[in-house]
């Protein structure tokens, strides 16, 4: 760890805690004042750190915070992308500590957004501050920090197209992923795409007494259960016609390379408190969560769910479904295939409405680029060993957008862990990871400038 990080680590953590206390939930309009507060906080910290031209840029939705430092036009330029919005904290009763009151336990920070993505995004601001204070910034840097990643970055595309001149650069640098462990660093070189759907099934025109009408009309909840159950077979294979037609099939050699990443299945099951893993036949757990597509029910509701009993046949039933996609699958095409298949499964007497919320394109990042090599060298210097390239099961839809609109590849230097429980109660981020991330990011700039000479 550099001297500056060591001397200022308590302040860095205190500032991060202030940011984590802001409940900047993007999916709920009630939190709009907190979205604005978080954007203002970040803009202020960028200015303090030494950025020029810091702006809170309005969009049709939540603002983008932009800032830059151009030290020499002949040097390479890095765009730092991150997001300050967070997932809802629900269910609140499953948190051991208040989600928006950061708490340190076992050398980790527990709070919503600690790892995804406030903690990891803030590492870049502090690395920038450190380089500015010590006069070691070796590249130009531009910050693009948004407030809508958790709802699909719906307005970022317009922002990028409007600000293309400002966003001229050589590479995008992102920390919104993870690594294998603190002892085994890794760089994410692949992301799955995403198709996020919602179903609304309608039966009778009102809720009905289940005694008077039961057995005579279709129950939307029963129908919904049947439809959802039919989307996968007992082996975890998705039944949508055409779903697998364009799925990338890796060679045995490529799969063998992936298998070299350390993985303890027993520890994995113990950490999740499950007796047995589940997934598509013929693939390992790591393959199922990275190179294979998936379909999962994220929520379903309808009827009476209060305390006690209410004998009712509901008028409506709902579900939310996400599908993670792999290279060559189009989220628009998969969304259409999903809708058609669901419509074919719905029984007579039930009307269905299928809504596509948002999606993203799968991405694979080249490992033979100067940008990747700079990240590799940075991890090697910081951790004392070279990182392993891995594919992530998650989705960051804007990575494909950056390539399409700006012609830029992204380098994903993540420092989170699988155990960080992102999107879940008791999300956390290790203090070691936070500080080591700042150090490694600084080293990326050093190695990138050297390699680009």
Residue 254 confidence (pLDDT) = 86
Residue entry with tokens 């001297």: 3
**How sure is the predictor about 63, in pLDDT bands with cuts at 50, 70 and 90?**
very high
Mean pLDDT on 329-334: 96
Percent of all residues in the chain with a pLDDT value above 90, rounded to a whole number: 92
Give the count of beta carbons closer than 10 Å to the beta carbon of residue 97.
15
* pLDDT tens per residue across span 360-374: 899 999 899 999 999
* β-pair partners for 69: 141
CA 41-398-385 angle, to 5 degrees, is: 85
Mean pLDDT on 428-452: 98
Residue 394 confidence (pLDDT) = 84
Could you say which of 15, 68, 85, 117 is catalytic? 85
Q: Is 386 a catalytic residue?
A: no
Burial status of residue 262 (CB atoms within 10 A of its CB: 0-12, 13-18, 19 or more): exposed
Within 13 A of 341's CA, how many CA atoms are on the CB side?
Answer: 20
Q: Residue 26 and residue 88: Cα distance in Å, rounded?
A: 8
Strands 193-202, 316-325: pairing kind: antiparallel
Residue 82 confidence (pLDDT) = 98
Residue 198 confidence (pLDDT) = 98
3-state secondary structure 163-223: CCCCCCCCEEEECCCECCCCCCCEEEEEECEEEEEEEEEECCCCCEEHHHHCCCCCCHHHH
Residue 301 confidence (pLDDT) = 97
* pLDDT tens per residue across span 13-41: 999 999 999 999 999 999 999 999 999 99
CA 209-214-219 angle, to 5 degrees, is: 95
DSSP 443: H
Contact 117, 175 (CB under 8 A): yes
Per the structure block, which two tokens stand in for 385? 């060993």
* pLDDT tens per residue across span 235-287: 999 999 999 999 999 999 888 888 888 899 999 999 899 999 999 999 999 99
Residue 377 confidence (pLDDT) = 98
Residue entry with tokens 């690395």: 127
Could you say which of 129, 149, 176, 442 is catalytic? 149
Q: Is 85 a catalytic residue?
A: yes
**Does pLDDT of 1 surpass 80?**
no
Per the structure block, which two tokens stand in for 106? 């076992």
* pLDDT tens per residue across span 381-401: 999 999 999 998 888 888 989
* β-pair partners for 360: 194
**How sure is the predictor about 159, in pLDDT bands with cuts at 50, 70 and 90?**
very high
Per the structure block, which two tokens stand in for 132? 């500015």
Within 13 A of 342's CA, how many CA atoms are on the CB side?
Answer: 26
Indicate the Cα dihedral angle 132, 135, 140, 146, nearest 10°: -10
**Does pLDDT of 81 surpass 90?**
yes
**Does pLDDT of 194 surpass 70?**
yes
**Does pLDDT of 48 surpass 70?**
yes
Segment (H or E) for 449: helix 431-451
Residue 199 confidence (pLDDT) = 98
């Amino acid at each position: 760890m550099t001297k500056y990080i060591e001397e200022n680590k308590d302040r860095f953590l205190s500032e991060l805690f202030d940011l984590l206390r802001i409940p900047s939930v993007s999916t709920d309009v009630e939190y709009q004042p907190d979205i604005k507060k978080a954007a203002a906080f970040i803009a202020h910290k960028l200015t303090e750190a030494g950025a020029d031209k810091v702006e809170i840029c309005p969009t049709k939705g939540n603002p983008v915070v932009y800032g830059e430092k151009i030290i020499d036009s002949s040097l390479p330029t890095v765009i730092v992308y991150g997001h300050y919005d967070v997932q809802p904290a629900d269910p609140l009763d499953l948190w051991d500590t208040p989600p928006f009151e950061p708490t340190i336990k076992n050398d980790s920070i527990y709070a919503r957004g600690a790892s995804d993505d406030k903690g990891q995004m803030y590492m870049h601001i502090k690395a920038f501050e450190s380089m500015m204070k010590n006069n070691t910034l070796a590249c130009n840097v531009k910050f693009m920090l948004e407030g809508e990643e958790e709802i699909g970055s719906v307005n970022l595309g317009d922002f990028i197209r409007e600000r293309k001149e400002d966003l001229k650069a050589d590479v995008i640098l992102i920390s919104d992923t993870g690594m294998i462990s603190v002892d085994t660093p890794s760089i994410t070189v692949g992301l799955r795409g995403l198709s996020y759907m919602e179903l609304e099934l309608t039966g009778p025109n009102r809720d009905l007494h289940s005694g008077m009408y039961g057995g005579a009309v279709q129950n939307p909840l029963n129908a919904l259960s049947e439809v959802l159950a039919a989307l996968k077979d007992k082996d975890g294979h998705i039944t949508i016609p055409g779903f697998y037609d364009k799925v990338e099939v890796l060679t045995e050699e490529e799969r063998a390379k992936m298998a070299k990443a350390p993985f303890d299945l027993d520890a994995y099951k113990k950490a999740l408190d499950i007796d047995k893993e589940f997934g598509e036949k013929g693939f390992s757990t790591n393959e199922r969560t990275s190179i294979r597509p998936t379909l999962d029910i994220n929520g379903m509701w309808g009827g009476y769910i209060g305390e006690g009993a209410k004998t009712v046949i509901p008028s409506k039933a709902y579900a939310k479904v996400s599908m993670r996609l792999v290279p060559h699958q189009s989220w628009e095409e998969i969304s259409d295939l999903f809708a058609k298949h669901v419509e074919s499964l719905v029984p007579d007497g039930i009307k269905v409405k299928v809504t596509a919320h948002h999606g993203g394109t799968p991405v694979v990042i080249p490992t033979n680029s100067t940008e990747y090599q700079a990240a590799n060298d940075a991890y090697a210097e910081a951790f004392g060993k070279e990182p392993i390239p891995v594919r992530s099961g998650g989705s960051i839809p804007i990575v494909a957008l950056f390539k399409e609109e700006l012609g830029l590849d992204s380098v994903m230097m993540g420092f989170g862990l699988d155990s960080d429980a992102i999107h879940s109660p008791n999300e956390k981020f290790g203090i070691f990871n936070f500080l080591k991330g700042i150090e490694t990011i600084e080293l990326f700039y050093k190695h990138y400038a050297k390699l680009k000479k």
